[in-house]
Structure 1
Amino acid sequence: MGKNMKDWLRFSVAFWHTFRGTRGEMWPWEDGTNSLAMAKRRMRANFEFLEKLGVDRWCFRDRDIATDAETLEETKANLDEVVALAKELQVTKIRPLWGMAQLFM
């Protein structure tokens, strides 16, 4: 039908399963904190992982890529900073397949 399988079924890596873990795993890049610096390390690790796998799409939830802070303004600033880093790291062909607002916490 004129499309590659890649065009029909787009594969992506879910950030929250791979880089946030579900059981408190300590990955080599983790320092045990939930700091903005840690969020940036996770984002860099995400893009390195995607490049090594040859995967060109990723998906995420906003609260998983950036840390919460003491105030809503600081929390939004953290998200803005991590999104800016993700945008900078997307100079390759890696792009988000989708993003989601985590409104259920």
Structure 2
Amino acid sequence: MAVISFTFLIIIFLIFLIVRLKPWLLNYFKLLKNYGPVPCPRNRLPILGNLLSLPLDPHQFSLKLDQFYEESKTTALYCLWIGTYPLVAFFHPVGLEID
């Protein structure tokens, strides 16, 4: 009897988790679709973005951002994912033009 109630609690928890995460996941996939063509660093993870590639030390953090800037100097705009939120940087006014 205890196994059935434990299984029932697990099922209820999973349903609750799916219901709570659905709007967040839909928003995340919408952002991915909208910001897909914007150039980003190569080592981006699906949910964490570029957070694992950024160091905690402020000096190392600024050096890493400088490295991202050097990689993207030739493009008009650049996207860095901080968690599930895109951080878009415009380097030239051409990036603001609408086709």
TM-score by length of 1: 0.29
Which is richer in helix? 2
- With a CA cutoff of 8 Å and minimum separation of 6, indicate the structure with the bigger relative contact order: 1
Structure with greater Cα Rg: 2
Question: TM-score when scaled to structure 2?
Answer: 0.30
